[in-house]
Amino acid sequence: MKAQTRTLSIVALAVLLLVSAAVAGLPASVLAQTTESTETNETQTAPQAADGSWSTDRGNAGRTAATSADGPEPYGKHSWHGGFRGIPTGAPTVANDTAYLPVLTERDSYEINGSVVAYDAATGEEKWERTDIGEPSGAPTVVDGTVYVSTTAFLPPNPASVDRNGDGGLYALDAETGAVEWVRNESVDWPLAPVFFGGELYAIEGPEALDIENRTSANKTVGSESLVALNPETGETTWSVPADRLLGIANGTVFVASDGDIVAYDTETRERLWTADSTGMSSRAGFAVTEGAIYAVADSDDGVRAAAFSTADGSVQWNWTLPNATSVSESVTVGDGGVFLTVDRRANGTAVVRLDGDTGAQEWRFSPPVGELIGGPTVANDSVYVGAMALPESGETREDGPDYSIPAVFAVDVSDGAQEWGHSFAEGPKINTAARAPSVAGGQLYLPFYESGLHAGRLSADLHALEASTDRPGQDSRPSDGVHERANPEPSVEANITFREEVGNDLAFSGFAYNDESAATNATIASAEWDVDGDGTFEHNRSSVEIWLEPCETQTVTLRVTTESGLTDTETRTFKNGI
């Protein structure tokens, strides 16, 4: 909903007072940003699996972390969870009623070990675990009964004195048993998850290690990184070109990063189509590819930067920068015509931001009422899902208020950023917790949480699966709404207009209402009316309004909220621009 702005005819320095009601779950304001757009194109569609499966890393060959399938709705409830030691290197791939989770099980000065664990998607029962491999480079790709997983390892300084269990390479595993069908390990470094397209498997192969069998020439390699196309049945190379990173595949074109450039190759003719300057994004960025654009996000000296490049010739379509912020997950998600990323605005907290895919203009942001977002977003049909650490709702009944956070997930509306529901988990790491962008398949959401640290074998992790429910999560299973309520509140409603500092030179004021059920619950708040000029007449009934104050101007604003059951409350505040 676009707020109306009231301005005076005299041109002068102005302060923006943004007064908004979170009762509709919409963002209070727009983050400060700079956007440069050279042209506007039609909204591009991300490649999505026709059957709604999640059979490869980040969901599809474009690595967009988006699917046309439904996630848990209208609410999510806990289906199952599995605890383990290690660090999940991606959300699980889900295919053939099985969830395949990549795990780094050990990493120290002498060894890197990993595994792939197969769970029954419906029950969480472990089917098998493939150990004795290197660290999985993201989630596996599952095609026709075979699990393909890229792994990395390193050669220790003195190989003869170290029992290395993890062998780096590109593995083809039987999807039912985990048995090795073939392995490519002339290099121990396959740094990115493989992609299947057009009957071939695409992966990035690192430099080859000398004397791979005996490992007597430790840390000595020959060659450089390459994009390798392989026969998925045998593992044999069909063609290769120099490349540092595989960005994604769309429209029969594979896009790679090579020596600071973005390069496009035709997957059928293997012809180089074009080369374009990545403008510094290639080495550090997270990428996603759609039919019309290559999207990237990375941290820079100026803040979080996002950019779009044309798939036709690599030209820059737009740039966007959020100052004084960092990317939470260094990944970019593309779906529903939008570009989504999780950012840390430091003192202003974390948020999921939606940008217009065609222009780069910011459309909305979502921040949790309490807590922080700790993973990248995933788009499933009309919802965005993101992992978080948040206070539990049940903790609000304590006399001194809640003082601990637990893993959680939020679902927000893809079109306007309004919170749909939240779910918290008693199980999982509580310290230095991080999360992967979830995967969605078969109506379920799969979200791994893990404890950040150096020694993976000592760290706790948990994989949670949620299914659809018609019931709102109870107090023990939903994140706090940010209001410290009494244990047995009397029916009431209260309107609040509170000051907070916004990014840049503007000042922002936000309004919200809470009642005996929860704060800012759309189902119970019937109206939010605003008198923005102090004349006693409520001119607006909407989620937010904007007013401009000229220097030394004073304005009285009143918010009146009414619940569906007829409870009402008002709040009046007077603001003055003293600049």
> Over the stretch 148-202, which tens digit does the pLDDT of each residue have?
999 998 765 555 544 444 588 999 999 999 999 999 988 889 999 999 999 999 9
Q: Answer yes or no: are the C-beta atoms of 6 and 517 closer than 8 Å.
A: no
Is there a single domain that holds both residue 489 and residue 418? no
Mean pLDDT is highest, among 31-45, 118-132, 326-340, 482-496, for 118-132
Q: Are 223 and 162 part of one and the same domain?
A: yes
Q: Are residues 437 and 511 in the same domain?
A: no
Is pLDDT at 425 greater than 80 in this prediction? yes
Same domain, 64 and 87: yes
Of 450, 473, 496, the one marking the end of a domain is 473
Say if residue 292's pLDDT is above 80: yes
Which of 419, 444, 473 marks a domain boundary?
Answer: 473
Question: Looking at the DSSP assignment, which residues form a beta bridge with residue 333?
Answer: 340
- For residue 576, name the pLDDT band (cuts at 50, 70, 90): confident
Report if residue 186 sits inside a domain: yes
pTM over 0.95: no
Whole-angstrom Cα distance, residue 32 to residue 13?
18
Number of domains in the chain: 2
Whether residues 254 and 199 share a domain: the answer is: yes
Most confident range (mean pLDDT) of 87-91, 478-482, 529-533 is 87-91
State whether 114 and 135 are in the same domain: yes
- What integer pLDDT is reported at residue 268 of this predicted model? 96
Asked if residue 332 and residue 210 are part of one domain, the reply reads yes
| 52 and 24 in a common domain | no
Lowest mean pLDDT among 34-48, 251-265, 351-365, 369-383: 34-48
Quick check: is 252 in a domain? yes
Domain termination site, one of 452, 473, 494: 473
Any idea what the CATH number is for the domain that residue 427 is in?
Answer: 2.130.10.10
Q: Which domain holds residue 311?
A: 36-473
In this structure, the strands spanning 237-242 and 226-230 are antiparallel
Q: Which carries the bigger pLDDT value, residue 481 or residue 520?
A: 481
Residue 99 lies in a domain: yes
Residue 213 lies in a domain: yes
Tell whether 131 and 77 lie within a shared domain: yes
Inside any domain, residue 495? yes
CA distance 379 to 366: 14
Give me the CATH number covering residue 538: 2.60.40.10
Rounded to the nearest 5°, which phi and psi values hold at 492? -165, 165
Query: Looking at the structure, do residues 239 and 268 belong to the same domain, yes or no?
Result: yes
Residue 190 lies in a domain: yes
The reply to whether 455 and 489 lie within a common domain is no
Q: Say yes or no: 100 and 237 in one domain.
A: yes
| Per-position b or e across 328-352, b if 16+ CB within 10 A of its CB | bbbbbbbbbbbbbbbbbbeebebbb
Answer for the pair 248, 203: CB distance below 8 angstroms, yes or no.
Answer: no
Do residues 424 and 390 make contact, with C-beta atoms less than 8 angstroms apart? yes
Q: Report how far residue 335's alpha carbon sits from residue 186's, in angstroms, rounded to the nearest whole number.
A: 37
Q: Is 526 exposed, middle or buried (0-12, 13-18, 19+ CB in 10 A)?
A: middle
